[in-house]
């Protein structure tokens, strides 16, 4: 179901404030049979008090059994069906390093590779060259000049960089130039449709000049391009929900994802406490606040159960500051689960909490994976969180008479 | 998912009887933190006994966070996806006053307005003229004669009336004639597609003759037409479910909605007791009975918690009479929630109860909002209630071999 068809028609404006606190990878698993999850182990008096007042449930990021990446995980939370809206690999790579793509831009992921004397690839990742060595090479590629097209090159990590082409008449439907095997030369960029013909030409010219600039390098004397993609056409928060939205994040990826749906990136917070400072300072200027906390995910990815528990307690500790602002609707959720036991994103439903004066409280007294199973929100697709938020904020009219 | 594609193929006939008791706006909210809802407060020994024997859950009328009007609320309960099937405003207004539209009819909502000497609207609602004054004017408009077209005019309330055109070659895609501002004349009816060209001509002729008939009236000397719409094309209960269905309602709106899906309107009951009399009298002649109880909604809309509690108790008291008829499947539900605390329809799931010899009973012992969260039906879209009803009645074959 396209919920934007409904929200476009039904959304109302008022003075309410919605806060969505996203603890990345919040959901977890017990480490031993019969044990508790990270969230259940953590001492979270503030989240538990919210659970007693509010309603909780399990958010399913995409569909049962589907573990999402950060892109689809956040699109779901923002109310954009993550199956319908796809962010291309190049666009996600650019977004992930904080490059704000404009409509019409085309991004691609670049890999440095090693070419032999015959121009064939001998190492597809240039010996996994260190970031310290590769970053200056990426910067060197900014010397490429293509008439009528702006070229942006940004280092990523090790053998990876990102390139963005900006100019009229570009589209993203171009095949990867990586042959996926060694012993073959990089492929020429091939346009899959006529709208992308110019992009293929521009990419070919980029590869030609870049290869000349890399000549003589021992490891990184060649490159391949993958995941060509335009900026995804996502309708804005303002258009589909009538919300003036702010994103308060530390990591570039989440600022980038928020900017793709038209949120304004506010502040330059480096810690959770600074993020709440930023929330306080901008309270009067926005209707909706997305606050992203990274470390519940990264500790889970590290398989560090006790570190994730500590990060959840750190997250819990700032709740009173948020409550003091008296948001009309306060949501606590995650974009997916990252169980320490799995060291990876997972498909498990994410404990999700909603508090407002008109929510229907359930019997839950604490916030956690077992508790949310008996919560009043039941299990629901993440994309419905925004319709629940809008309704609880009095921002949705009745559907039909 | 189009459940009718399944029910059309799989439905079977037998001698079972299905009763769907709809307490309009049944779901509610506590008035104070930690309190009980209207349904939880009411003394409902009969519903609780059903809950102990049956299975319950929370019905989501349209989608999470979407509060429906009566039209989409009932379409969902009847198994018609309320997003897929839309009842136009004019058709709903006609339906709401008990006008039974035929296929090919086009209905519009009429507003009396005040025109100044230059023919411009000075009051879009004719000073909210009293129903006693406006009803005779609506009746006067029945004098309009248009060759080849039957014209029906029915009073509604205050400045509102409804007009229905019946004749060959009419379609409902005509724009509103209300300019939405004062100081401008009413707009000419404008057809949006060629199929609606004749409707626009008929409407223009209606406006011309009607304005002449209203000449000299102090307040209501003009009119505007809005929400032109044909009878919605809803497949019938008989076709999609193989059910001969009866509707037993007091209010015209619910008789009208039931008639749109091919139910037969039986009896002229004015009270719930008389509705059950009607049920008893017609027991042998139908497979499915829709019984509508209005007052749980109207008391909620009034914000009268204790009156809603009393109405729920009144509703509970008739259950033994229904049970005595030994329906194969007995369903108790609502078309949406109407919490007294909100004085409006809401999006909250509706407590829903199903009892049959082959339902899988759950642990619930009472009927209510908190209890249904742990019910065996879980949370489900209202449109699936009909497939559950059919299956529990032995009226659905196996899907696939």
pLDDT of residue A24: 98
CA distance, residue B224 to nearest chain A CA (Å) = 20
- A98 — pLDDT class (breaks 50, 70, 90): confident
- CB within 8 Å: B68 and A398: yes
- A401 — pLDDT class (breaks 50, 70, 90): confident
- Average pLDDT in chain A: 96
Flag whether pLDDT at A195 surpasses 90. yes
ipTM of the complex: 0.90
Name the residue in chain B with its Cα closest to that of A376.
Answer: B373
pLDDT of residue A285: 98
Q: What is the mean pLDDT of residues B51-66?
A: 98
State the DSSP H helix or E strand holding residue A255, giving kind and residue range, or none if neither: helix A252-260
Chain B residues with CB under 8 Å of A362 CB are 370, 373
- B337 — pLDDT class (breaks 50, 70, 90): very high
Q: What is the mean pLDDT of residues A371-395?
A: 98
- CB within 8 Å: B65 and A388: yes
- B401 — pLDDT class (breaks 50, 70, 90): confident
CA distance, residue A70 to nearest chain B CA (Å) = 24
- CB within 8 Å: A361 and B33: yes
pLDDT of residue B36: 97
- CB within 8 Å: A401 and B92: yes
Residue of B347, B378, B383 for testing the chain A interface, max A β-carbons within 10 Å: B347
Chain B residues contacting A via beta carbons under 8 Å: 29-30, 33-34, 37, 58, 62-73, 82-83, 86-87, 89, 92, 339, 341-342, 344-349, 369-370, 373-374, 378-379
pLDDT of residue A2: 87
Flag whether pLDDT at A96 surpasses 90. no
- B293 — pLDDT class (breaks 50, 70, 90): very high
pLDDT of residue A150: 97
Q: What is the mean pLDDT of residues B42-49?
A: 98
pLDDT of residue B275: 98
pLDDT of residue A65: 98
Give percent above pLDDT 90 in chain A: 97
- B96 — pLDDT class (breaks 50, 70, 90): confident
Q: What is the mean pLDDT of residues A29-39?
A: 97
In whole angstroms, what is the distance from residue A325 CA to residue A329 CA? 11
Q: What is the mean pLDDT of residues B155-163?
A: 94
- B100 — pLDDT class (breaks 50, 70, 90): confident
State the DSSP H helix or E strand holding residue A241, giving kind and residue range, or none if neither: helix A237-241
Comparing CB atoms, the residue among B344, B347, B370 nearest residue A362 is: B370
CA distance, residue A376 to nearest chain B CA (Å) = 6
pLDDT of residue B82: 96
In whole angstroms, what is the distance from residue B118 CA to residue B185 CA? 8
3-state secondary structure of A171: coil
pLDDT tens string A284-300: 999 999 999 999 999 99
- CB within 8 Å: A384 and B347: no
CA distance, residue A357 to nearest chain B CA (Å) = 9
Question: SS3 for chain B, per residue?
Answer: CCHHHHHHHHECCCCCCEEEEEECCEECCCCCCCCCCHHHHCCCHHHHHHHHHCEEEEEECCCCCCCECHHHHHHHHCCCCCCCCCCCHHHHHHHHCCCCCCCCCEEEEEEEEEECCCCCEEECCHHHCCHHHHHHHHHHHHHCCECCEEEEEEEEECCEEEEEEECCCCCCCECCCCCCCCCCCCCCCCECCHHHHHHHHHHHHHHHHHHHHHCCCCCCCEEEEEEEEECCCCCCHHHHHCCCEEEECCCHHHHHHHHHCCCEECCCCCCHHHHHHHHHHCHHHCCEEEEEECHHHHHHHCCCHHHHHHHHHHHHHCHHHHHHCCCCEEEEECCCECCCCCCCCECCCEEEEEEECCCCCCCCCCCCHHHHCCCCCEEEEHHHHHHHHHHHCCCECCCCC
- CB within 8 Å: A391 and B346: yes
Packed helices A305-317 and A45-53: angle between N→C axes, nearest 10 degrees: 60
pLDDT of residue A1: 79
Sign of the dihedral defined by the CA atoms of residues A52, B33, B70, A243, in that order: negative
Chain A residues contacting B via beta carbons under 8 Å: 1, 3, 5-6, 10, 53, 358, 360-363, 374-380, 384, 386-392, 396, 398-401
CA distance, residue A7 to nearest chain B CA (Å) = 9
pLDDT tens string B67-88: 999 999 999 999 999 999 999 9
- CB within 8 Å: B66 and A360: no
Which residue did the predictor score with more confidence, A97 or A304? A304
- CB within 8 Å: B345 and A374: no
pLDDT of residue B98: 86
Chain B residues with CB under 8 Å of A375 CB are 373
Q: Which pTM value belongs to this model?
A: 0.92
Q: Which residues pair with A350 in a beta bridge?
A: A59
Token pair 């829903």 in the structure block, residue: B352
**First vs last Cα of chain B: how many Å apart?**
21
- CB within 8 Å: A391 and B66: yes
Comparing CB atoms, the residue among B29, B37, B68 nearest residue A399 is: B68
B306 Cβ contact list (under 8 Å, min separation 6)? none
């Amino acid at each position: 179901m396209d919920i934007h068809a409904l929200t476009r028609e039904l959304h109302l404006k008022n003075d309410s404030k919605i806060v969505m606190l996203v603890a990345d990878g919040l959901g977890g698993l017990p480490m031993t049979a019969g044990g508790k999850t990270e969230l259940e182990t953590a001492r979270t008096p503030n989240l538990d008090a919210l659970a007693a007042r509010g309603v909780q449930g399990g958010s399913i990021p995409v569909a049962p059994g589907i573990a999402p990446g950060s892109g689809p995980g956040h699109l779901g939370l923002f109310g954009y069906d993550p199956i319908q809206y796809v962010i291309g690999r190049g666009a996600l790579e650019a977004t992930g390093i904080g490059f704000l793509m404009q409509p019409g831009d085309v991004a691609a992921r670049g890999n440095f590779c090693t070419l032999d004397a015959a121009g064939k690839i001998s190492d597809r990742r240039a010996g996994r060259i260190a970031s310290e060595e590769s970053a200056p090479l990426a910067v060197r590629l900014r010397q490429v000049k293509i008439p009528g097209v702006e070229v942006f090159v940004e280092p990523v990590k090790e053998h990876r960089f990102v390139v963005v082409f900006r100019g009229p008449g570009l589209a993203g439907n171009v095949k990867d130039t990586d042959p996926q095997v060694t012993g073959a030369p990089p492929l020429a960029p091939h346009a899959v449709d006529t709208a992308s013909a110019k992009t293929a030409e521009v990419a070919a010219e980029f590869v030609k000049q870049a290869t000349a600039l890399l000549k003589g390098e021992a490891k990184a004397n060649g490159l391949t391009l993958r995941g060509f993609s335009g900026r995804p056409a996502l309708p804005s928060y303002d258009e589909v929900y009538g919300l003036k939205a702010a994103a308060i994040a530390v990591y570039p990826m989440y600022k980038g994802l928020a900017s793709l749906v038209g949120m304004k990136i506010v502040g330059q917070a480096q810690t959770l406490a600074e993020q709440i400072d930023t929330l306080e300072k901008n309270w009067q200027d926005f209707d909706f606040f997305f606050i992203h906390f990274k470390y519940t995910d990264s500790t889970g990815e590290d398989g560090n159960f006790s570190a994730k528990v500590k990060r959840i307690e750190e997250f819990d500790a700032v709740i009173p500051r948020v409550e003091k602002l008296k948001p009309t609707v306060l949501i606590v959720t995650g974009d997916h689960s990252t169980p320490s036991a799995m060291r990876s994103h997972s498909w498990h439903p994410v404990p999700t909490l909603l508090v407002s004066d008109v929510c229907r409280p359930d019997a839950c007294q604490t916030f956690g994976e077992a508790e949310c199973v008996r919560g009043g929100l039941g299990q629901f697709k993440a994309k419905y969180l925004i319709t629940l938020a809008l309704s609880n904020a009095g921002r949705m009219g009745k559907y039909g008479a």
